Structure 1
Amino acid sequence: MIKKLLLSFLFFFCLLVCQGQHLPYAKEVVQKLASPAFKGRGYVEKGEQIAAQYVAEEFEKIGLKPFKKSYFQTFTTSVNTFPSAMMIALDGKEIVAGQDYLVEAGSPGLSGSFPVLSLSAEDILDEATLIQTLQESNKKFILIQDFDRKEFVKEQLQRIDEVISFLKYNPENPAAGTIILTSGKLTWGASTQQYSKPNIILKIDSTYTAINQISLEIGNQFYKNYKTQNVIGFMTGERSDSLMVYTAHYDHLGMMGENAIFPGANDNASGVAMLLSLAKHYQTHPPRFNTIFIAFGGEELGLLGSQYFVQNPLFDLSKIKFLVNFDITGTGEDGIQVVNGSVYREQFDRLTAINDEMELLSQVKIRGQACNSDHCMFDQMGVPCFFIYTLGGIQAYHDIYDRAETLPLTEFEDYLKLIVAFADEL
């Protein structure tokens, strides 16, 4: 009964003091990080470094302290980029990067005009047709027609996938490149590799049923040792025997050519906004434990920043009482999903109880382990942690439509209140 009264007092106090306090700042952070000036926070024109510098400056304004006189922990990675030319035309008609097509992230540069040969799923399964197409494919592009996977049995799908993988990635494929037709959403990525041939993912359109020629100009730059960084700051709390850690990655996919920018508002400018908003909250409401804030680089390249950190920690990982990782924090109409909720059931149950008592989010869904964000590297080291992401709302993800102006931040305030109350009860 006393605990419920205290939680009620905390809730109403926060309503009086905090209501609307964090949302304007969060929107400012998202708008800044997702703006064209940050180049999609990737590796073209050092967009990720612009973002890291911004986060470090915010850390300093808030009053977070750096480790070893610097907020930055540097590391190197290989990365493939597309800094300049990006043009594709089909039978003389130019199409739009990011909207009509993607160049797969590991593709090399290539310029010229090439005939196109077409393969259906049935053609792939017909060995004679497949061999004939490969024999004719030198200095040509092979187009893989879209197909319904439900129409094929498991063994057929395995064979189709093996052939497509060979066409896309094997240097022994004589073709100049591949085109993959898809009726699905165009979802881009990032790559630490450079493949032998370019792969084009083409959004299906009725005019693409019979493509005879592809003209393209793709300019790429592959870096073997690109220097990037994590951004780390801390704040002293009432207790120094344990650490509370909040994390979010600040990097995104950057640019595909000079015009296609992937802003990454929800993924993950929103997570950085939560990270910084929590820091601002604790600036005036000292945390219970010494609290560390980490903005990771290299997440989109394969959790590289968090992997480097756990291999080169700036503090004793065994002192972490709990870690919460924020990735995709910009909606919340349907509540939140808690990765590792079933692993740390006691903490998950406490989180859901607080949510119910304070009447904040519509639901707190439980999920098991998943190596799908930066928490994973800490989880593998035995650090107790959650990765939480919001549910509902916009579906923009790894595309050109993940923009600040369409990100609602629907439950940002209540989400922040929940995390503050949860940390206070650990």
Structure 2
Amino acid sequence: MKYKLSLILLLLTSATFAQDSTFARRMVDTLTSKQFWGRGYTNDGMGKAAAFIAHEFKSYGIKPMSGKGFMQPFSFNVNTFPGKMELVINGNTLIPGRDFIVGPESKGVAGKGDLFQKDSVTFIEGQKRIVLTLKDKLTWSVSQQVADYTSIEIDKKALKEVPINVSVNIENKFVEAFEANNVCGLVKGTVKPDSVIIITAHYDHLGGMGKETYFPGANDNASGVSLLLSLAKYYAAHPQPYTMAFICFAGEEAGILGSKFFTENPLIPLNNVKFLVNTDLAGTGEDGITVVNATIYPKQFELLKQINAQGNYLVKVVPRGKAANSDHYWFTEKGVPAFFFYTMGGIKAYHDVFDVSKTLPLNKYNSLFKLMNGFVTALQQ
């Protein structure tokens, strides 16, 4: 593919494109609120988030990708924790999320017993099949299956002495065929509507662990959804020569499932997609961005770097090779050229209860918007 790039024109044009960063903050505040309960598998968190995004699309003038509406339904199995989440070690009650997390594959368990020390960080209650592990940092995830034991990770700082005994009451619920939706919309191209550029981000996160604790997921990935919505709002008001498509995926945290389903059941022909840009962890950026698939598509990566250098947007644009670490992956496997970028620097909160809106800087939000807009413009030259 040959690109004709007028950097001066791009700079003059994209300088006026950035949405006010207050839009980004409002979106991140909303998506991380208690109402959406971590955009996961309890309290209808994921369903509420999908409905919110679809409403935003409609309000901007985005059209559904399918005649059936914005939603593309699919399902998968998932282990959830909607109820009791209690842990007492040596008579001391620990706080879910902050002091401990339950392994996402764990079965529910209730009871108490003495602990056997296996090694310096592992303690076992054999009768109830409970495994406690001491950790420097607690990081949660999602499981599609249930084990025959209960694993619990404890922050080392939460204990003042070696664990001797345990009292636990944890409830799990295994959900077969959990119903989720990709949220898909587009703005028809004015010149070449059969040529498509897609912007994607996953909107799901980890949800809740018990009745009192949820994982807000500000950087991962309310930040990326916010950037996508900002771009969608702009392109709805400023249609491009190519069709601009926007997909917010569900099921990313459970194994990039929403994007896999879409590529197996595409709502638009994949051979019409000229390029896809996936954004995840877009809330920082003082150390620049890393671009996955940069070495696979060197011409497009060089173009991205040129736009960044001329605009002086980000301090670094770092190349990375192919990786199955977000929703771009299944498109690449189907032959769709795609980049996945994530920001670097700033906060270290990730898959924990500390990934909250108030500590997410969003300090490179406008720069990311301008860079993405310049890249989209250049792809259509």
Could you say whether these structures have the same fold, taking a TM-score greater than 0.5 normalized by the shorter chain as the test? yes
Residue 262, structure 1, aligned to residue 250, structure 2: no
Aligned length, in residue pairs: 374
Identify which of 242, 247, 250 aligns with 2:203. Answer: 250
Of 109-118 and 365-374, more deviation after overlay is shown by: 109-118
Per the TM alignment, residue 262 of structure 1 is displaced from its structure 2 partner at its CA by 0.3
**Equivalence for 1:96:** 95
Determine the structure 2 residue equivalent to 1:43. 41
Task: Return the letter of the residue paired with 2:152.
Answer: I
Could you tell me which residue of structure 1 aligns to residue 366 of structure 2? 413
Q: Please, which of 336, 341, 345 is the counterpart of residue 388 of structure 1? A: 341
2:176 to 224, 242, 255: 224
Correspondence for 1:199:
151
Give 1:13 shift.
4.1
1:126 corresponds to: none
Aligned partners of 1:267, 1:49: CA distance in 2, in Å? 17
Task: Write the letter of the residue equivalent to 2:185.
Answer: G
Alignment of 1:79-94 (within 5 A): 79-94=78-93
Partners of 1:7 and 1:223 lie apart in 2 by 52
Counterpart amino acid of residue 213 in structure 2: A
Alignment of 1:332 onto 2:285: yes
Q: How many angstroms apart in 1 are the aligned matches of 2:127 and 2:300? A: 55
Q: Give, in whole Å, the separation in 1 of the partners of 2:356 and 2:36.
A: 13
Partner of 1:154: none
**Runs of 5+ unmatched residues, structure 2:** none
Structure 2 partner of 1:120 = 119
Contact kept, 8 Å, 1:267 with 1:327, in 2: the verdict is: yes
Partner of 2:57: 59
Letter in 1 for 2:8: S
Alpha-carbon shift at residue 8 of structure 1 (Å):
2.7
The 1:303–1:111 alpha-carbon spacing in structure 2 relative to 1, beyond 3 Å, is: same
For the residues of structure 2 that align with 1:206 and 1:307, how far apart are their CA atoms? Answer: 39
Secondary structure in structure 2 of the residue aligned to 1:263: coil
Match of 2:71 in 1: 72
| TM-score of the aligned structures, taking structure 2 as reference length | 0.94
Report Cα offsets for 1:163-213 as digits up to 9, x if no partner.
xxxx89xxxx86621001122x11100111111111001111384542221
Aligned to 1:144: 122
| Equivalent position amino acid for 1:355 in 2 | N
Give the whole-Å Cα distance in 1 for the aligned partners of 2:68 and 2:368: 32
Question: Does 1:190 pair with 2:142?
Answer: yes
Q: C-alpha separation between the residues in 2 aligned to 1:407 and 1:301?
A: 24
C-alpha separation between the residues in 1 aligned to 2:68 and 2:101?
42
- Tell me which residue corresponds to 1:8: 8
Separation (CA, whole Å) in 2 of partners of 1:257 and 1:175: 20
In structure 1, what is the Cα distance between the partners aligned to 2:312 and 2:158?
Answer: 49
1:180 maps to which residue?
133
Percent identity over the alignment is 42
Shift of 1:285: 2.0
Please, what is the CA RMSD of the aligned residues?
A: 1.7
- Counting only pairs closer than 5 Å after superposition, residues 333-352 of structure 1 correspond to structure 2 as 333-352=286-305
236-245 or 347-356, larger mean C-alpha shift: 236-245
Q: Could you tell me how far apart the structure 1 residues matched to 2:102 and 2:143 are?
A: 12
Aligned to 1:398: 351
Amino acid aligned to 2:79: N
Q: Counterpart amino acid of 2:11?
A: F
- Cα offset for 1:215? 0.5
User: Match of 2:77, as an amino acid?
Assistant: S
Unaligned runs of 5+ in 1: 122-142, 146-166
Alpha-carbon separation, structure 1, partners of 2:287 and 2:268:
36
Q: Which moved more, 1:203-212 or 1:260-269?
A: 203-212
Q: Are 1:8 and 1:358, in contact at CA under 8 Å, matched by a contact in 2?
A: no
| Contact 1:230-1:297 within 8 A present in 2 as well | yes
The whole-number CA distance in structure 1 between the counterparts of 2:69 and 2:75 is 17
Looking at structure 1, the residues matched to 141 and 347 of structure 2 have their Cα atoms a distance apart, in angstroms, of: 19
Alignment of 1:23-42 (within 5 A): 23-42=21-40
Q: Secondary structure at the match of 2:340?
A: strand
With over 3 angstroms needed to count, the CA separation of the structure-2 counterparts of 1:207 and 1:405, relative to structure 1, is: closer
With normalisation by structure 1, the TM-score equals 0.85
After superposition, give the CA deviation of every residue in 1:42-61 in whole Å (9 maximum; x if it has no partner).
00111000000000000100
CA distance in 2, matches of 1:195, 1:73: 30
Q: Which has the larger radius of gyration?
A: 1
Structure 2 residue matching 1:357: 3-state secondary structure:
helix
Deviations 1:33-90 (A, max 9, x none): 0011100000011100000000000010011111113100101111111112111010
Paired residue secondary structure (1:190):
coil
